[in-house]
Amino acid sequence: QVQLVQSGSVMKKPGASVKVSCKASGYSFTTHRLSWVRQVPGQGLEWMGYSNTNTGKSTVVQGFTGRFVFSFDTSVNTAYLQIISLQTEDTAVYYCARHHDPYDILTGPDYWGQGTLITVST
């Protein structure tokens, strides 16, 4: 069965960097796009962008460009979200999510990771 397993919650100080992993199993990793979604505590979901695990290209949407970097390693079926120069407002749960249709993001995510809480505090 399809599974996305994310790395554990972490606490960081402002200015530090963090890398969240999302290990996929149960499907062809290079067939389905993988998105990243942020959820600030008590708020809604925000789509950050996605990785095209087939072509190697990642798209980060406006509002997340600059300090948020997507990458992936097809040899271990794992996607990564790196956040550089953390700020307190980056405190949130970050989810990876697989898109339903092969080779596209039209239909939207179907399977989600369990989420990774990043807490940024002095």
Partner 1 sequence: QSALTQPASVSGSPGQSITISCTGTSSDVGGYDFVSWFQQHPGKAPKLIIFKVNNRPSGVPDRFSGSKSGTTASLTISGLQADDEAVYHCSSFTSTYSRVFGGGTKLTVL
Interaction between residue 41 and partner 1 (CB under 8 A): no
Cα maximum dimension of the chain: 42
DSSP secondary structure code for residue 107 in this structure? S
Let me know if 28 is exposed, middle or buried by CB neighbors in 10 A (0-12, 13-18, 19+).
exposed
Q: How many residues lie near partner 1 (CB under 8 A)? A: 25
Beta bridge partners of 47: 37
With left for phi above 0 and alpha for psi between -120 and 50, is residue 88 left, alpha or beta?
alpha
Candidate list 43, 55, 75, 122; residue touching partner 1; CB under 8 A: 43
Interaction between residue 105 and partner 1 (CB under 8 A): yes
Interaction between residue 5 and partner 1 (CB under 8 A): no
Residue with Cβ nearer partner 1 (67 or 115): 115
Interaction between residue 110 and partner 1 (CB under 8 A): yes
> What is the dihedral angle through the alpha carbons of 8, 111, 98, 116, rounded to the nearest 10 degrees?
-20
Residue with Cβ nearer partner 1 (17 or 107): 107
Residue with Cβ nearer partner 1 (43 or 122): 43
Binding positions for partner 1, rule: CB under 8 A? 35, 37, 43-47, 49, 59, 61-62, 95, 97, 100, 105-115
